[in-house]
Copies of this chain bind each other. A is one copy, B any other.
């Protein structure tokens, strides 16, 4: 199993081979075995394969090719709708229209998503997470008819790989670990941790392509800019509120 975990690569090119029904069911079942707060299972999993809907999702996900190309896109949602309806049918007064409940449900959805991703990889399927899910949450809600008390928090595309990329570089393990308590980073330590990433061939190539002095500038100026982050913060907070999760007073 560790082999599967340690060999994960994001796959962005898929073959035409469809995913067998039984395999898909096993993968989704694996999602439900993840830990869930109080065994409430406050998440939902939406499996989309119809081309027309996938095309709409492709638009929402910044027109990334893999969304159209993959046979299936799976959207993981924080979902208190089902649980609230159950409470209401059972003479119980739900108090889940608040931020804590949203975040609890998001944790449930994300742990389930990682189980699904890993389970898929054990069947030689490839997956890629779509970070655009939280940027375009409102559009996804409209496309997938998502009701109140449900918020999409992660998506993966899934299919048989048509590529075999190298393992992605990671920071050295000790760069993200802290023992006993958090030890804050000195400038020297930061330089050490990022040294390998900064001196890679990939970075050299990116600096030329992007005409930047440092790798960090590619992140701040191009990939994850303040302007975009502020816009998407406002949009995502609005979605959380509109979906009913911001009644944080008695």
Contacts and interface: CB of A to CB of B under 8 A. Distances in A.
Interface in A21-69: 25-26, 28-30, 32-35, 37-41, 43-50, 53
B215 A47 contact: no
A211 B185 CA distance: 52
B8 A82 contact: no
Closest 4 CB pairs of A and B: A95-B226, A1-B1, A92-B216, A90-B216
Contacts of A168: 39
B38 A221 contact: no
A13 interface: no
Nearest to A79: B176
Interface residues of A, number: 122
A107 to B, nearest CB: 6
Most central of A2, A5, A170 by chain B CB within 10 Å: A5
Nearest to A129: B35
A136 interface: no
Given A4-B1, A5-B119, A119-B5, A180 B114 contact: no
